[in-house]
Amino acid sequence: MYELTVKTSFDAAHKLCGYQGNCARIHGHTWVVEVAVAGGKLDSIGMLIDFKDLKNMVKKATAHLDHNFINELPEFAVNGKVGNPTAENLSRYIYEQVKEELDKNHPSVKIRRVSVWESPNSCATYRED
């Protein structure tokens, strides 16, 4: 089994609804997103998936988050599909977006996990076990 990991970042603001503390106010992060994929079959030139293709999928999944107030996006608005824009919910959201792209374009490559770092010392990871 081969596993590849790519990393990217985006800047965005959010606030945590229902939270008691400073994070209930609007604040921003440079979010770092790490995506790991895996598979057992390499292509004819020895690649599981081109890093460029995987990076583009992650960029596509995060493009509309970049330089936005995430709480105002329909997916994260109150009663939205995803919910409160926590690092946990962001990691699941990005996971689902990348998984959909992989299933369509690279069905032999499976997503393993997505980690979203809101600071150098704090991240949330989503994976389906």
pLDDT at residue 80, as a whole number:
75
Which residue range forms the structural domain that includes residue 58?
Answer: 2-126
Task: Label residue 10 by pLDDT band (50, 70, 90).
Answer: very high
Residue 76 confidence (pLDDT): 87
**pLDDT per residue over 50-105, tens digit each?**
999 999 999 999 999 999 999 999 988 777 788 899 999 999 999 999 999 999 99
CATH number of the domain that residue 37 is part of:
3.30.479.10
CA distance 87 to 126: 10
User: Count of domains in the chain?
Assistant: 1
pLDDT score at 123: 97
Token pair of 61 as six digits? 């999944």
Token look-up 């959010």 returns 14
Helix (H, G, I), strand (E, B) or coil at 116: strand
